[in-house]
Chains A and B, each alone.
Chain A
Amino acid sequence: DIVMTQTPLSSPVTLGQPASISCRSSQSLVHSDGNTYLSWLQQRPGQPPRLLIYKISNRFSGVPDRFSGSGAGTDFTLKISRVEAEDVGVYYCMQATQFRYTFGQGTKLEIK
């Protein structure tokens, strides 16, 4: 199985400041069709996960443009340009390039 490793596991951030989360896969996430099926999800406290980003850098419908994704191959990053109070929660990267799908351990974003 592909192992997804996120860093940091915890990220205290000041409101209005940027935040960045890294996700590294144990092997390339480039699918045989040429696409890279890396997505990012947000889970607010007490809520189910919510899709933020798909195929590395595509923002899902309704996701604020302060969220952006980048990367290639085995290294990926989620950035929040200016953290807002509603961004508190746990962020997961997920690969769907290869069965079995796997998630990163999660990064807890909290406000300083």
Chain B
Amino acid sequence: EVQLVESGGGLVQPGGSLRLSCAASGFTFSSYSMNWVRQAPGKGLEWVSYISSSSSTIYYADSVKGRFTISRDNAKNSLYLQMNSLRAEDTAVYYCARMILGYYYMDVWGKGTTVTVSS
């Protein structure tokens, strides 16, 4: 079964750090680009970051650029999001989603992990 499972969320104080993970299974992880998408409580979807299959291309939303770092380990079938200098507005459910190179749609999503930034 094709699956993405996020982990690493939790409660963190403003200015703190957190590292999210996304474990992939049931498909050849190294063949797919990956994204992080977040959803603040009661709000819509916001794209956060993209990483190509080989990690050669990386993009960030302006709202997280300079604070978040996306990475992947194809040998471990895992995607990561290192989040530093967290703010209250980063509070959200964070989803990882795969994307087929050249097709540009997100066809598989994880269930998400919740990040709460509060003192």
A residues in contact (CB < 8 Å) with B: 1, 31, 35, 37, 39, 41, 43, 48-51, 54-55, 60, 90, 92, 94, 96-97, 99-106
Q: How far is the CA of A90 from the CA of B42 in the complex (A)?
A: 11
Interface of B is mostly: strand
Q: Is B11 engaged at the interface, CB distance under 8 Å to the other chain?
A: no
Which are the 10 A-B pairs with shortest beta-carbon distances?
A96-B104, A54-B105, A37-B104, A101-B47, A48-B109, A106-B44, A103-B45, A39-B105, A99-B59, A51-B107
Please determine whether B105 and A101 come into contact, CB atoms closer than 8 angstroms.
no
Q: Which of B56-97 contact A (CB under 8 A)?
A: 59-62, 95, 97
Q: How far is the CA of A90 from the CA of B47 in the complex (A)?
A: 17
30 A-B residue pairings within 8 Å (CB atoms): A1-B62, A35-B104, A37-B104, A37-B105, A39-B105, A39-B106, A43-B45, A48-B109, A48-B110, A49-B45, A49-B95, A50-B109, A51-B106, A54-B103, A54-B104, A54-B107, A60-B105, A92-B44, A94-B45, A94-B106, A96-B104, A96-B105, A100-B61, A100-B62, A101-B35, A102-B47, A103-B44, A103-B46, A104-B44, A106-B45
Residues on A with C-beta less than 8 A from B105 are 37, 39, 51, 54-55, 60, 96
Please determine whether B109 and A49 come into contact, CB atoms closer than 8 angstroms.
yes
Q: How far is the CA of A55 from the CA of B37 in the complex (A)?
A: 19
Q: Is B50 engaged at the interface, CB distance under 8 Å to the other chain?
A: yes
Knowing that A54-B104, A96-B104 touch, tell me 7 more A-B residue pairs with CB under 8 angstroms: A37-B104, A43-B45, A55-B105, A94-B47, A96-B99, A100-B47, A104-B44
Interface of A is mostly: loop
B105 to chain A, nearest CB (A): 4
B5 to chain A, nearest CB (A): 11
A23 to chain B, nearest CB (A): 13
Identify the interface centre among A43, A50, A90, A96: most chain B CB within 10 Å of its CB. Answer: A96
